[in-house]
Structure 1
Amino acid sequence: MMRVLSTYTGNADDAICYIKEAFFHSSDVKVRPVPFNGKPSCIVFLASAANRELIQLNVIKPLLVSPAGKVEDVAAVTGILKTEDLDEAVRYMAEGHCVFLTAGEKKMTLLNVYKPLPDSARAPNNEQVVRGSHQSFSENLMKNIQMLRERVRHPSLTVKVRKIGRTSQSNIAVVYAGKIANPAIVKEVERRLDCIQADSLHFPGNLEEYLEDYPFSPFPQILNTERPDRAAANLMDGRVAIVMEGSPTVLVLPVPFFSFFQSSEDYNQRTLLGSFFRLLRFLSFLIALGLPALYIALVSFNYEAIPVDLIFSIKNSLEFVPFQPLLEAIIMQVTLELLREASIRLPSPIAQTIGVVGGLVIGTAVVEAHLVSNTMIIVVAITAISSFVIPSNEMSSTIRILGFPIMLMSAMFGFFGIVISMMLILIHLVKLTPLGSPYLYPLAPFSARFFKDTLLRAPVWMMNSRPDDTRPVYSWRESRSRGWKKNE
């Protein structure tokens, strides 16, 4: 329990205990003893916010060379403050200052040792936006934690660094907001990490498999993100982030189904635009999942549902094709997956050539050879474009895989097969409860109050509460955030 008194009394040990408790015993709170003026002294700092090299060269080294005098005269840094308020010291530590404590002194010295990250950080490869931050995580663990600290400059941001893998001893960090995240979820995540008995873990994908509740579900249960702003926003919603050494991808859990359709750009645009593009993504989800199956059902079983004028056009395109619509669709979908895989594996200039030339040549050739109909080419092209609209690569891959069994069901039972397939998928989604959180929340269980950031994106000042699926300790986000507006 944190002490009520927050005034430094000259007892360095008590002050260190207070600071550690204020930071929820975060692993990156470091203490370095430095004797000065013949008294026991020490420096306390956050390894993920302060610059260690600056502390060593401009603070510790000068103090050791001149072990007497005033700290502010010896330390070679700018922005030096004196305070006796421990809460103020904690706030400054979160912003990159270090605290110099001397036994018997009534005031602490705050030294600015913050060094911002260089602007040369690479842009995200998989989560690009037109408007918003273009910074992404790196492969350095402490640098990634610093990016999170820069976006959540509050002492409650807790970092727990640990090793995983009996032989590899890989460094990972569990990051969460101590005043918001549910302790039960944090403990469960830490328990699962402690129970992993793997010989080595080098990839976040491996770690994801060890942590997820439903390993054979096609749907992703853990969000992968390269964006510090998105990870920080999820931390403020009460979720837990796992940062792994050597990986530019951060795992966020638990997350609902709708999180995989959200993009950082939604919150950098006005409400109407953000809502429109989000609806477009859900429409793309339905198209990518069911359009080929719908075409197969219409052509094979339910042709009476096709308008008369369109029937003749489809009939002409199918007249000389020797294959059934199901086989047509499978051939084109597999070909598309081959082109996609080839474009990923090859160097960028060649990949672009393969994608454009390969698609045009193959598409033209199969139509002229009457192996596939023109209509099927259009259907597969629209399906592929729709799958690209979904922001999450994991969800996009899931939709492409699920398209094959739905096509098979539609070829066997027509519209009825599509309906059965969709019902089975919906039942499966409702049953998923990763880390005890309902996957389809707030649709099932339904909660109109938290539906403001799902299919549509309400104005940010209307989202007063944090999502309830993580059961946050402090659920209220803001009240009357537009203070200038009366009766709102």
Structure 2
Amino acid sequence: MSFFKNRNRSDVIFPSIDENVHYFNDALHNTDDLKTRTIHFNGIPGVIIYLETMVNSEELQRSILIPLTQANIGQKIDDIVTSAQFAKSSNMNIAVTALLKGNSILFLENGTEIYILNTLQSHSRSPEEPENEKVVRGSHEGFVGHLNINLNLVRMRIQNRHLKIEYFELGWETNTRVAIVYMEEIANPTLVDELKKRINSISSDMIFSPGYIEEFIEDRPISPFQQILYTERPDRVEAHLMEGRVAIFSEGTSDVSIMPVSFFAFFQSPDDFNIRFYAGSMFRLLRFFSFWGAITLPSIYIAIISFHFELIPNDVITVVKSSIENIPFPPFIEALIMAVTIELIREAGIRLPSPIGQTIGIVGGLIIGESVVNAGLVSNVMVIVIALTAIMSFTIPSYEMSNTARLLSLPIMIAAATLGFVGIIFCLMIIIIHLCKLESLGTPYLAPFAPLKVPNLKDSIVRFPIWMLNKRPKNIKPQKLVKQRRSREWDKNEK
């Protein structure tokens, strides 16, 4: 087993079982998925210790527990255990590393050796990535609906003794298992304690989805802006944990909640870090622009047609005038009709089976759109504007933030139909003021812009090269701010 090599630390096994168990608990920061099983072998008490999120319980039972209980007096453990990979060590530090790799540890009272047995969990699951978080490059794994498998996927990526898991049971009747996961030496203890306090305060007879937990623990549940980031990707959870955030897992769902987050986290995608930073920055800017475009584009069109017709260039004014002159409705009603139609088509496409959903999209996009224009109910320019708005909303990586964009566009359209550009500016001012006041788990939602943290701008609306991202975000106050020293030391031209 290769992980035994190059280990120089001399953490010698203790003679007492209790001291050994205490050592493992301290080394793994009393994580809740660390389990112990007391046994007796040849009249000598012993303990099997393992991480339940990493081991295969059936393999543990078959290759270790049953052979030990059926062993005859005088037999040796080496001749009894049927584990495919079997090793011994007297170094406790090696044992902790083996534990993190999915092995089970067996030791006896007054023993001088630790038995390391391979019981790594191998679960059969589809490697398909989440439908709503697809990437071009990188990992294509996604979480499933089983809590232990999801935690296993995270532990396989972060094989670190400081990764801590704490379990909760929520719901009087459902008794739903919930786990929070964080890095003990990176995450801010104040934030972790605050999150645990909010989770423990949940008083409900049923918790069956992350949406239930979200509305109990978020800072401003009435705000239209999402304050918790959802993801189904293990690599994304890994990245946020290593920055000092906390992940919330729930039994029966593949969605993982991440707190605290900023407004800009909803426009980031794993693809940003899998491609060249020039392209990653350009696509991130495009998503950010699309968000504000989805909110304001219909309103700008309404304001121009209703109040500021003089802003249309002379070469275009004839086209626009001929498009709207026979329309019986004002621009706001046109936009409202088309926005509702788009939402109906979108909702129908989601609820119906995939083949039928695609048909609905074709029918809605081509037949209904063309028929509405030919009937003279909506201008063709308005169809273009609403279609472009819908495309912009679909480019936002976060489904929740995409919903927010569509939701906010309606009051801004009303303001534009009432006051023109003045109404649009007034609404945008209210939104920005609200964003400045909003918090996620007590941390600024608009960081690193409000309050301004210049070093953190390297990974906000643009992405700097990875070797320049030396520090974690300051707004969540991690215990370890520096995450990498100067990289590319080999390149003398950069010195």
* TM-score grouping bracket, smaller chain normalisation: over 0.9
Partner Cα distance (1:70, 1:480) in 2: 52
C-alpha contact 1:173 1:243 (8 A) present in aligned 2: yes
Following superposition of structure 1 onto structure 2, how do residues 333-482 of structure 1 map, counting pairs within 5 Å?
A: 333-482=339-488
Partner Cα distance (1:145, 1:108) in 2: 26
Cα shift readout 1:237-277 (whole Å, capped 9, x = no counterpart): 11111111001101111110001001111111111111111
Whether 1:41 aligns to 2:41 is no
Residue equivalent to 2:154: 148
C-alpha contact 1:51 1:115 (8 A) present in aligned 2: yes
Whether 1:60 aligns to 2:55 is no
Cα shift readout 1:22-57 (whole Å, capped 9, x = no counterpart): 111111101011211321111100001122111110
Residue equivalent to 1:51: 56
Residue equivalent to 1:262: 268
Local SS of the residue matching 1:246: coil
* Amino acid across the alignment from 1:63: L
Choose the corresponding residue for 2:83, options 56, 66, 77.
77
1:113 deviates by 1.4
1:84 deviates by 2.1
1:5 deviates by 8.4
Residue equivalent to 2:196: 190
Partner Cα distance (2:43, 2:274) in 1: 55
1:485 deviates by 2.9
Whether 1:139 aligns to 2:139 is no
C-alpha contact 2:174 2:205 (8 A) present in aligned 1: yes
1:480 deviates by 2.3
Local SS of the residue matching 1:40: strand
Instruction: Give the CA RMSD over aligned residues.
Output: 1.4
Partner Cα distance (1:79, 1:283) in 2: 54
Whether 1:20 aligns to 2:20 is no
Local SS of the residue matching 1:200: coil
* Amino acid across the alignment from 1:9: F
Residue equivalent to 1:171: 177
Partner Cα distance (2:41, 2:274) in 1: 50
Cα shift readout 1:413-471 (whole Å, capped 9, x = no counterpart): 11111111111110000000121100000011111101111111111111111111211
Partner Cα distance (1:216, 1:359) in 2: 34
Partner Cα distance (2:399, 2:344) in 1: 17
Partner Cα distance (1:399, 1:255) in 2: 18
Local SS of the residue matching 1:191: helix
Aligned residues between the structures:
485
Partner Cα distance (2:258, 2:490) in 1: 35
Partner Cα distance (2:127, 2:48) in 1: 30
* Amino acid across the alignment from 1:229: D
1:105 deviates by 1.1
1:120 deviates by 2.1
Partner Cα distance (2:32, 2:346) in 1: 42
Partner Cα distance (1:80, 1:122) in 2: 33
1:134 deviates by 1.4
* Amino acid across the alignment from 2:293: I
Residue equivalent to 2:6: none
C-alpha contact 2:227 2:439 (8 A) present in aligned 1: no
Q: Which moved more, 1:389-398 or 1:61-70?
A: 61-70
Residue equivalent to 1:214: 220
C-alpha contact 1:121 1:138 (8 A) present in aligned 2: no
1:298 deviates by 1.0
1:9 deviates by 2.4
Local SS of the residue matching 1:135: coil
C-alpha contact 1:288 1:400 (8 A) present in aligned 2: yes
Local SS of the residue matching 1:160: strand
1:71 deviates by 2.3
Partner Cα distance (2:371, 2:290) in 1: 28
Local SS of the residue matching 1:132: coil
Local SS of the residue matching 2:181: strand
1:119 deviates by 5.3
C-alpha contact 1:241 1:250 (8 A) present in aligned 2: yes
* Amino acid across the alignment from 2:13: Y
C-alpha contact 1:10 1:107 (8 A) present in aligned 2: no
Choose the corresponding residue for 1:204, options 188, 199, 210.
210
Partner Cα distance (2:28, 2:272) in 1: 32
Whether 1:92 aligns to 2:82 is no
Residue equivalent to 2:319: 313
Residue equivalent to 2:3: none
5+ long unaligned stretches in structure 1: none
C-alpha contact 1:326 1:407 (8 A) present in aligned 2: yes
Partner Cα distance (2:474, 2:123) in 1: 34
Choose the corresponding residue for 2:255, options 244, 249, 252.
249
Partner Cα distance (1:270, 1:116) in 2: 34
Cα shift readout 1:262-300 (whole Å, capped 9, x = no counterpart): 111111111111111111101111211111011111111
Partner Cα distance (1:283, 1:192) in 2: 34
C-alpha contact 1:243 1:249 (8 A) present in aligned 2: yes
5+ long unaligned stretches in structure 2: 1-8
* Amino acid across the alignment from 1:232: E
